[in-house]
Amino acid sequence: MTDLLIRGGRVLTPAGWIDADVCLADHLVTSIEINGSDQPGDRPVETVEADGLLVVPGFVDLQVNGGWGVDLASDPGGLWKVGQRLAATGVTAWLPTLITTPESSWRTALAALSNRPSQWAGSEPLGWHFEGPWLNPARKGAHRPDLLRSPTFPIDSSLAPEAGVRLLTLAPEVSGGLEAIAELSKRGVIVAVGHSDANSALAETAFTRGASMGTHLYNAMSGLHHRDPGLAAALLAGESYFGLIVDGIHVAPELVNLAWRAGQERLVLVTDSMAGIGLPPGVVKLGSHEVHLDGASARLADGTLAGSVLDMPSAIRNTMKFTGCSLDEAIQAASRTPAKVLSDRSRGRLVPGARADLVILDADVRVMATVVDGKSVFMHPELNQQRPELNQQRNETQ
């Protein structure tokens, strides 16, 4: 494998921004040298000139329902196409997300995850996020109410990390919900609470049973009533992580700012993107639903939001705009914090020994290049024109 040297960029490290060269070899970050790097060893090295650009940890998205015409609920095998396209948005690792479907779809989804195409390169899928079917019909959002149900015991053995399920969203108030949280947590599945009418007390019980995250804070959950605090209140006041869709549509800017002030270290930027991302405005058919795209949102015919058409760079820019936070703080919510949710110390940081997943950005947070596992998997045409050596690296590693 050819080593990769990214030279001359402004690098985001846990200690802050430094002007440094980043060397990648054997799938890892091998060095970050402030005063310049020697080419590593005697092996072939490709050099990327990053003068005037930002080098940051790869983004990790825990909630992606599809994109570019692929609806993962109806076509789980399309996850590999979505992963290829996600690389252009700076996402280096992600959880393909399956909204409520018949249980037979679980098998299809898990089989698709294990059927990795040969020579494939893109954003790495780390396991499925099953969003449903154990949700409260009163908070169904775009989920089909006829498919919502309560867990049955014993819980299906395929709902486990080793089978490909990394995260599962449920409503703790459904019959057997608390018991399911305890069982799944013991198996190592990350459990998030969402699409729920739980009050604050029940939410706290769910967290003591093993839930560790809330799915898309504010959306499809009980809220912030001053005498009847719901799930949103419990997440803001508590210690659990929470996902947030910062597109300016799902959540008002004022409430994004509130969430940031309440739990900056626990806030996880998610896109909740669906098949409409990358498509022009119009109507698309997704399963039994017609979804209306207007270039900024995706809605059912009755106006219900059906996921988003948000990408992670836009979420970062919006977070800075709505909260006044710095770029490095917003990037942490898209990289290091979601990696913490996954208990994955190899991702979300640029330090020697970390996984060689990174993004090169310009000053406007546009993705210029994405590197996954030490390989260039996306290059912006402008960078291609200016830096032919990155084009060479891309051709040699694909």
Residues forming the active site: 272
Cβ neighbours for 115, distance < 8 A, ≥ 6 positions apart: 77
Nearest in space to 370 (alpha carbons), one of 89, 67, 45: 89
Asked if 372 contacts 122 with a C-beta cutoff of 8 angstroms, the reply is yes
240: tokens are 């659990």
DSSP for 50-119, please give it.
-TT-EEEEPEEEEEE-EETTEETTT-GGGHHHHHHHHGGGTEEEEEEEEES--THHHHHHHHHHH-PPTT
Residue identified by tokens 């490709």 is 46
Instruction: Work out the burial of residue 33: count CB atoms within 10 Å of its CB; fewer than 13 is exposed, 13-18 middle, 19 or more buried.
Output: middle
For the chain, the distance separating the N- and C-terminal CA atoms, rounded to the nearest angstrom, is 12
Interior angle at CA 381, CA 378 and CA 387, nearest 5:
90
Residue identified by tokens 């508590």 is 238
Q: Where are the beta strands (DSSP E) in 164-301?
A: 165-170, 190-193, 213-214, 241-244, 267-269, 282-286, 289-293, 298-299
Residue 274's Cβ-side half-sphere holds a number of Cα atoms within 13 Å equal to 26
137: tokens are 């019909």
Collapsing DSSP to helix, strand or coil, 20 comes out as: strand
Residue 254's Cβ-side half-sphere holds a number of Cα atoms within 13 Å equal to 0
Identity of the residue numbered 76: P
Pick left, alpha or beta for residue 239 (phi over 0 → left; psi -120 to 50 → alpha; otherwise beta): alpha
